[in-house]
Structure 1
Amino acid sequence: MTVETIAVGQEDHPCDGRAAGFRDNLSGYEICATTPDRSPELWHRYLAGARMAYRHFGNEQALEYDAVVDGASTTLFFAATDPSGEVVGGLRVQGPYTWVSEVSSLTPWIGRPGAADLGLMMARRIPRGVVESRALWVARDVPHRDELAAAISRCMAHAPHLLNARYGFATVASFTADRHRASGAVVAQAIPPVPYPDERYRTVPIWWDTRTYRVFADKLQYLLMRGELRAMGLAEPRSRRSIRPLRHGGEERRAYGR
């Protein structure tokens, strides 16, 4: 796994030399990218926080806690910690996927408009590498919460870089889409949203393409992402970000998320 070979910075980093990490320059929180096997104690603290956050909003079933607690389905996870070491946010990552049938987050679209198109979208990308971010949460009432939420969104863009995949994928509440767009995500607008995990939400599929996300990211978020990738020992491919061509790798910009 790529994350095992990434050089880590300072010795007092919460990752404790086991994986990759960076400090978010805006919120001040440390963010560690590691695995459940390498960092089991951090994994369980991240998952406990996720369970509490999901329970607060009455959608704990979406976390699938019992199915994921052993860490077997999680390839990588990000955990944000405050100066005292408390976990205040994070997400977990699945993949790279081999088959569309592995992507359980497509289930809410079964029998609904857009199901076939979304399955085809996934099938086209899997040969080039797809990883999925899930169980994203940020603690309530922490200082600089908005900045931390933006940093966690950037981690969704970092995940495919760390796992040698081209694409990042997630299904998110529509009201969070602008935050993810700022980090280069594109909403699959051709796919109608679904009421998941219940009628209070409109969930939409979003994509990051490691070859083109920089074209769509906000300037500040892009600059932060470049620094974070360097901190994790990853060199971003050269690009001319100022040019916004209509086509990227044979796909039209307007169809990027299709």
Structure 2
Amino acid sequence: MTVEMVTVGAERVLRFRDMHSGHAFRVATPGADPEFWRRYLAGALRVYSRYGVESALEYESVADGHSTSLFFTAVDHDGEVVGGLRAQGPYAGAEQAHGLAAWAGEPGEDVLRAMIDARAPEGVVEVKAVWVDRSAAHRAALGAAVARCAVHAAWLLGARWSFATSAGHGIERYRSSGARVAEEVEPVAYPDERYRTVPLWWDTHAHARHATRNQSALIVLERAALRASGRTCPPLSAAGRPAAR
């Protein structure tokens, strides 16, 4: 399948608006949008700390942005960042996938490693540090929009596959955007015993078959908006260097 790609360069911020929640989304490398990168990380740390799982962010190792290929921020009508995610990759193989560490020494590690390695030639992008502010307006719709960003991330980075790990409470939201649970891999207690975490895969070549009708339609509309913003948005006046992959 041939798809018109959008280059996410260090000098540009791509944009789309979620029709259901009304929130604006910004997509950029950390170097292109450093202020929003800091605000995104601060929000992620605040939300993860509330549940005592801030260790899952790997904050100290990712804060410089070097491991992040691009990130998405959701911005409300007051200009506040109220959600987002970041993406790493595309990966050359399983040894680069941070999510695999949750299965280290656990049943399913070899199966998941083989899955990542098998998909790597077509491109695997890992989605991490997903969050939505508890006080955000239209929070359910916003959560659905953030889930769609997992599909956008792989597409923008020229990869077929998006990979993430999720505890049980997030699975249905991700499924709505086309994610499939890797049923062959046993869940693990991560980041602690309160959670049963599973691996998820999005196939950008087949998301329409697995996503809900509404989510699939919105992915198409938002992809068009990202294309349009990539053609029309001017370079930032103070662009940083591209984030290393």
Aligned to 1:136: 130
Q: Do the aligned partners of 2:9 and 2:29 also contact (CA within 8 Å) in 1?
A: no
1:89 alignment partner AA = G
Match of 2:78 among 84, 89, 93: 84
Aligned to 1:73: 67
Aligned to 1:49: 43
Q: Compute the RMSD of aligned alpha carbons.
A: 1.4
2:24 alignment partner AA = E
How many corresponding residue pairs?
223
Over residues 1-28 of structure 1, what are the superposed CA-to-partner deviations in whole Å (9 max), with x where a residue is unaligned? 82239xxxxxxxxxxx822111100000
Is the aligned partner of 1:26 residue 2:9?
Answer: no
Note the C-alpha offset of 1:187: 0.6
SS of the aligned residue for 2:66 comes to coil
1:142 alignment partner AA = A
Structure 1: gaps spanning 5 or more residues: 6-16, 235-258
CA distance in 2, matches of 1:89, 1:70: 19
Aligned to 1:216: 210
Structure 2: gaps spanning 5 or more residues: 1-5, 229-245
Match of 2:157 among 163, 174, 183: 163
Note the C-alpha offset of 1:35: 0.7
Identity of aligned residues (%): 49
TM-score using structure 2 length: 0.88
Q: Do the aligned partners of 2:47 and 2:133 also contact (CA within 8 Å) in 1?
A: yes
Q: Which runs of 4+ in 1 moved over 6 A?
A: none
SS of the aligned residue for 1:117 comes to helix
CA distance in 2, matches of 1:122, 1:159: 17
Aligned to 2:239: none
Equivalent positions of 1:117-136 (< 5 A) are: 117-136=111-130
Match of 1:3 among 5, 8, 12: 8
SS of the aligned residue for 1:93 comes to strand
Q: Do the aligned partners of 1:2 and 1:164 also contact (CA within 8 Å) in 2?
A: no
CA distance in 2, matches of 1:85, 1:195: 36
TM-score using structure 1 length: 0.84
Note the C-alpha offset of 1:74: 0.2
2:121 alignment partner AA = P
Match of 2:58 among 45, 59, 64: 64
CA distance in 2, matches of 1:58, 1:81: 25
Identify the structure with bigger relative contact order (alpha carbons < 8 Å, sequence gap 6+).
Answer: 2
